[in-house]
Structure 1
Amino acid sequence: MTRRKHAFILLCLLNIPFLTTPSWAVENVYDGAWYLSAGAGRSFYQMDSDNFINPGPGWPDDHYYKNSIHDGSFVDVTAGYAWTRFTNWFPAFLLGLNYTYAFQGKVSGYVNQYNLNQFKNYSYSYDFSRQTLMAVFKADIYKSDYCLMPYFIVGTGASFNKGSNYEEEPLENVTPRISPGYGTGNHVSWSYIVGVGVDYMIRDDIWVALEYNYGDFGTVETGKGQGTPTVTGVNYSDVNLSNKVKANSIAINFTYLLNYV
């Protein structure tokens, strides 16, 4: 009889709530999983610098102005590690390495020779492309009943920028000059992005996102100019064009948690 009492007491203790794992404790434990993400989008570029190139001793600088850059598309992939949990607030954190390839665009503007408005004599352009490699951190802030998770994202790393294929055309009634013939230039710049977006959980391990971000991609440069002497006494062999590049971008991304359980 005594043994039966002891067994009964032990059974009751094992079923007392404080000896079981409470639901809030399970919800507040993050599970880890490797993830892959791929996306595509469009960058709306901005340029905030002009160029002033001296055409020769004793002459005022030529002003390469009204710089603009055409909008361009891009694709990207990200690989990293995600921490997720079954809760509404801060349901996921992701840390990864992002690679972005931006398709070729074009920088364009006009040249005021000798920095005089009455000598707006040429239009010019050169091709621009970039590739970026960044460490990115993403935090989903809240999970709604509709499986929507707004998030913020930040990233920083290197942007590999290329300027090439310089061309210029004289405007109407202007006699062509010897073109500076700027060559191909490659420049590595520190870059960063900050952005916001919304994840939609198709299922627990597959998400699709719509994202906006602002990025600063540093400097794009052409190569040095050609060595042919000009009438004003300069051969452009030690000068090049240089512009700052920033962008507002929108993108669609798909994320897959590889070993999610």
Structure 2
Amino acid sequence: MEIEEEEPTTSTSTPPKASMKKRRRQRKRKNQDDEEYQENKSVANQINQKFGGSKEKHKDETPMFEVRNGKATIKNSGNHRLTVSRTLDTHMNKMFQWEEEPEAIESSYNCALCHEQGLKRELFGPYYISLNPAKHWPNFLAKKPTTKKPSYKIELWFHGTCILWAPNVNLHGSQLTNLDHQMDIFWSQNCAICRKTGAAISVQNKKNMHVHYPCAKNKDEKKGDEEEEEEKRVLE
């Protein structure tokens, strides 16, 4: 009796080579995907830190009053000072902005008070007033209009010292207060030294006597020089 030998069967626990390669490729692809995900996540976090920020962080940086033990303090005082500083800068810029009025009569570059040209010293302006041509018109600044209107806008320039010494005129931002009324008074007053209009400074103890600031200053300087020369002659 012959006994047939059975052929050895292949163990099912050992996977084929093709299956092993496929699994290795899948693990490798998964690792690559994980690395790419982590890299993208890191870049996203950097962008968020630079340009974004959480609501809580923004809230912490906001200046605010904080009460502790019955005492109020400013939280984030550095940001508070920066906010106040920017607000003040914006307000001051608005105050010192001036708008040119193209319809106003253009005047010569002379001080509207002392008549001197701005070539010697810098003039400030332009400032604008409404002027009635029936009153005192400054012919040394511009020709009197021939058309009949109740008032005209005219531009004015001033030396800083001339307008600062002028009474009842104050600088508020970029505007001079009460200028319309006062200029009509100044142009009705002649300087006791040069005899020109626009004298704003009253002479002490002299009724109805007015002078320009440069005229008074030059006279004092000449007087001082004369006194100095007289002293030298006496000593010689």
Bigger-Rg structure (1/2): 2
Q: Higher helix fraction: Structure 1 or Structure 2?
A: 2
Task: Specify which structure has the bigger relative contact order, considering alpha-carbon pairs within 8 angstroms and separated by 6 or more residues.
Answer: 1
TM-score, normalized by the shorter chain, greater than 0.5: no
Tell me the TM-score normalised to structure 2 length.
Answer: 0.23
Tell me the TM-score normalised to structure 1 length.
Answer: 0.21
